[in-house]
Amino acid sequence: MLTKAGSFGGTALVEHVQNLKPEIKQLTLFPSEMCNYRCSFCHIWGETGWALKEPQRAIREQLDIDVLKRFLHDVTEENKNLSVIVTGGEPMLYKHFTELVEYLRSRKANIYLLTNGSLIKKQVQFIMENIVAMNISIDGPEEFHDSIRGKGSFKTICENIDALIEEKRRRKKMFPFINITMVLSKYNYHSIKDFLGALRERFKDANVVLHDSKNPWLKRRDLSVNFAPLLFTTQERGLAYAEQMKEHLNCDVSAGWQGFVEEDIGIDTLALKKDLEEIWDSEGVDTSSFVDIHEYFTDIDNVFGRTKCVAPWHEMVIRRTGEVYPCVDLPDYKYGNIYENTFQEMWEGERATSFREYLKTTNLMMCNRCTRMFADKESY
């Protein structure tokens, strides 16, 4: 669940950002954006997603592993304890997936995998040895999940998770942590009260708990479950964002923002709020820092004290084309390209500096419902 800023929000956060110095902590890699699923709500491959609008030949493009390794070498020289999120599309479809992960491990990076879970089984041993945490998407009990992600996918993913849990037990290992993410959307919010029960029924011997944002690495559990509200925008906001980017940053935006447009969120947000409260109550979860889900969906101006995004000071995003961006879901303001530019050139370059300066005083119209606005305190 997304959390409010708490004491380190509002003006304190605005002031904090004024004094931030660039320090790379995290990379997000989209080495391939291909996907074997077509999830209805997905901002990439879903009903309003941008990937279907792109030439399909271009979207099959994958990052050259040698160029990527050279770049990663430089970043891991700068930060010897780098966090790397490998995502996509489906990251395990990247043809150099194992080589990439092995290289990152040899450079002591901590690797977090965001995956639809469909391709895990053949890689269980490899995952055990190399991945710190797996974020696996399951979007509700079987019938809801399958109607969003494709018939039979719930069964496949659960079998793959079985294999992973079994191997963790056999080796008596804590890693990789397995987190299930359910994105709350109009397609599945009705099922939320049945979700934990369905998982506990399916994984009878496993310890299934709700994700605890205060203590995400809680030891005693096999699976943690995180409810992630849909990220969304309106057409009006998206157009204002495009205009803002052009006028203030001289940037022509991609179709990325269009993948988030939801004119009608299609959720009875008060009913969802009530259901969530009942779940948290019965699970004994402290909800004091959680955002109000009704306000999240009905008042897009409310940022819950999350007045500033710190991502551009600590993170970079590399897409399948080699292009490098500050923003995880918006391939718009480009720092450069790893085929042509070094890490230092981009991280310390004029474009990154101008972007950070702009963000010190102004938020982008798309920031309000971006995951990075709600980042953990450690990213500050």
Ligand X SMILES: C[S@@+](CC[C@H](N)C(=O)[O-])C[C@H]1O[C@@H](n2cnc3c(N)ncnc32)[C@H](O)[C@@H]1O
Q: Helices then strands (H, E): number in the chain?
A: 14, 10
- Give the one entry of ligand X, ligand SF4, none that residue 230 binds, where binding means its C-beta sits below a cut-off of 5 to 8 angstroms depending on kind: ligand X
Minimum CB–partner distance for residue 18 and ligand X (Å): 30
Considering CB distances under 5 to 8 angstroms, the limit depending on partner class, which of ligand X, ligand SF4, none binds residue 231? Answer: ligand X
38 forms part of the interface with ligand SF4 (CB under 6 A): yes
Q: How far is the CB of 3 from ligand SF4 (least distance, A)?
A: 23
Nearer to ligand X, 188 or 307 (CB): 188
Alpha helices in the chain (DSSP H): 10-18, 56-59, 65-78, 97-106, 124-130, 142-149, 153-171, 192-202, 235-249, 269-283, 293-298, 311-314, 343-347, 350-361
Between 183 and 279, name the residue whose CB sits nearer to ligand X. 183
Candidates 82-90, 154-162, 324-332, 358-366; binding stretch for ligand SF4 (CB under 6 A): 82-90
Nearest to 185 by CA among 222, 232, 229, 145: 229
Task: Kindly state the tokens that stand for 93.
Answer: 């479809």
Residue 226 as a binder of ligand SF4 (CB under 6 A): the answer is no
Q: Is residue 79 a contact partner of residue 24, using CB atoms and an 8 Å limit?
A: yes
CB of 362 to ligand SF4, least distance (A): 30
Is 186 or 202 the residue whose CB approaches ligand X more closely?
A: 186
Find the helix or strand (DSSP H, E) in which 318 lies.
strand 315-318
Q: Is 52 in the site for ligand SF4 (CB under 6 A)?
A: no
Binding to ligand SF4, residues 112-131 (CB under 6 A): 116
| Whole-number Å distance between alpha carbons of 86 and 99 | 13
φ, ψ dihedrals at 247, nearest 5°: -70, -45
Q: Which residues bind ligand X (CB under 6 A)?
A: 35, 41-44, 87-90, 114-116, 137, 181, 183, 228, 230-231, 260
Judged by DSSP in three states, 373 sits in: helix
With CB under 5 to 8 Å by kind, the binding choice for 322 among ligand X, ligand SF4, none is: none
Q: Is there binding between residue 42 and ligand SF4 (CB under 6 A)?
A: yes
Termini Cα distance of the chain: 19
Contact in structure between 112 and 132 (CB atoms under 8 Å)? yes
Binding test (CB under 6 A) with ligand SF4, winner from 68, 90, 279, 343: 90
- Which residues contribute to the site for ligand SF4 (CB under 6 A)? 35, 37-39, 42, 44-45, 88-90, 116
